[in-house]
Amino acid sequence: MISYAFYLGCVGPLRYPDIENSIRLTLAELGVELLDMEGATCCPAPGAGFKNFDELAALTVSARNISIAEELGLDVMTFCGGCQGSLNWANKLLQSDPERKDRVNELLADMDREYKGTAKIKHLVEVMNEDVGVDHIREIAAGRLEGFKVAVHYGCHVLRPYKVEELDDPEMPRMLDDLVEAWGAESLEFTEKHTCCGAGGGLFANDRDLSLSIMRKKMVQIKELGGDMLVDICPFCHMQFDLGQMQLREKGEDFSIPVFYYNQVLALLMGFDRDQVAFIENTPRDKIIERILSTKMIEV
């Protein structure tokens, strides 16, 4: 069994504990052990512009979090694009810059901590591809979602900047598409597929109308293509698509496209109870969940 230090971040556990549950339950069954990082804090969030105002403070916060994983002797697994971007940026910068690393460790010494630079930062989608494997997901799903049309959303920070993430082709990524197609589903292609969800850069809180207009472009295309659901790999993007559709509905435009984090659908396919892994919803999901659950259950 492979083990990771599980970095929770803020949005996931606070707003979507069902996403967290789905990750814990599915990975445990798939041979990936997740150890909690006691005392971990915000990454800090890249959208807040923290590192632009005080780079040293941002590096120190991230380094402190990474040092918790280093004490466990493990690499870090994130499940949020923003957390992935912040921690990976700090980790690679400090690994390549001894002077910055020394300065950060001077500050961490006041907290009885030391950043060594020995841990890697991996996003869940990377773990699913490399440690679990697309072929294994294909065996589990057994083509049960054949006929489902799925729009995938990678988000910005998982793929960019490429020189930091080096995870997949930032223009034509395949990792999430492959994982969705392993269910037997069709992963839709559309021009807005790889654009921002509209929540980043502080837009979610500071200019909600603009934020929603960016998201709306994506939803229009998904609806035109007859998408059955949208699957994401970031709780903050998830919140944008979930709450955003509710807000658009209040403005008179109803898309009603169910939104799932990848592991929520996987958990349903693996037979986990909906009340454990998909109990929070603003966008109606009952019908699509019933379709998923109506397919024949198999044992992992």
Confidence of residue 207 (pLDDT cuts 50, 70, 90): confident
What dihedral do alpha carbons 218, 224, 227, 231 form, nearest 10°?
Answer: 0
DSSP H stretches of helix in 54-143: 55-72, 81-96, 98-109, 124-127, 134-141
Confidence of residue 300 (pLDDT cuts 50, 70, 90): very low
In CATH terms, the fold of domain 133-294 is Rossmann fold (3.40.50)
Please state, in angstroms and as integers, the Cα–Cα distance from residue 117 to each residue in 70, 102, 114, 123, 193, following that order: 8, 11, 9, 17, 35
Separation of CA 246 from chain center: 21
172: confidence class by pLDDT, cuts 50, 70, 90: confident
Q: What is the mean pLDDT of residues 178-194?
A: 97
Q: Where are the beta strands (DSSP E) in 140-206?
A: 149-153, 186-187
| pLDDT, position 158 | 80
CA distance 177 to 156: 16
Beta bridge partners of 51: none
The domain spans of the chain are 2-123, 133-294
Tell whether the model's pLDDT for residue 22 goes beyond 60: yes
Q: Flag whether pLDDT at 51 surpasses 70.
A: no
Mean per-residue pLDDT of the chain: 91
- Token look-up 């957390």 returns 83
Would the pLDDT of 47 be above 70?
no
CB 237 within 8 A of CB 81: yes
Per-residue model confidence (pLDDT) at position 52? 63
For the four alpha carbons of 35, 36, 41 and 47, in that order, the dihedral sign comes to positive
pLDDT-derived band at 230 (thresholds 50, 70, 90) equals very high
Q: Summarize the confidence of residues 209-228 as an average pLDDT.
A: 95
pLDDT at 163: 61
Structure token digits, residue 146 = 């054949």
Two tokens at 181? 């197609």
* Comparison of pLDDT for 281 and 5, the residue scoring more: 5
Task: Give per-residue pLDDT as tens, 58-110.
Answer: 999 999 999 999 999 999 999 999 999 999 999 999 999 999 999 999 999 99
Within 10 Å of residue 246's Cβ, how many Cβ atoms? 14
Q: Which of 41-45, 114-118, 157-161 has the highest mean pLDDT?
A: 114-118
* Architecture per CATH, 2-123: Up-down Bundle (1.20)
pLDDT digits (tens, 9 = 90+) for 244-262: 999 999 999 999 999 999 9
Mean pLDDT of 228-248: 94
Number of helices and strands (H, E) in the chain?
16, 8
Over residues 118-167, the pLDDT tens digits come to 999 999 999 999 999 999 999 999 999 999 999 999 998 787 665 655 67
Length of the chain: 300
Give the mean pLDDT of 188-214.
87
Q: DSSP class of residue 148?
A: -
Supply the pTM of this predicted model: 0.94
Q: Is residue 46 reached through a cis peptide bond, with omega within 30 degrees of 0 on the bond before it?
A: no
Which band of pLDDT confidence, cut at 50, 70 and 90, is reported for residue 199? confident
Q: List CB contacts of 290: < 8 A, sequence separation 6 or more.
A: none
Res 241 pLDDT > 60: yes
Question: What proportion of the chain, given as a percentage, has pLDDT over 70?
Answer: 92
pLDDT at 284: 83
Output the pLDDT for position 218. 96
Q: Round to whole Å and give the CA distance between 112 and 40.
A: 14
Give the pLDDT confidence score for residue 283 in this predicted structure. 77
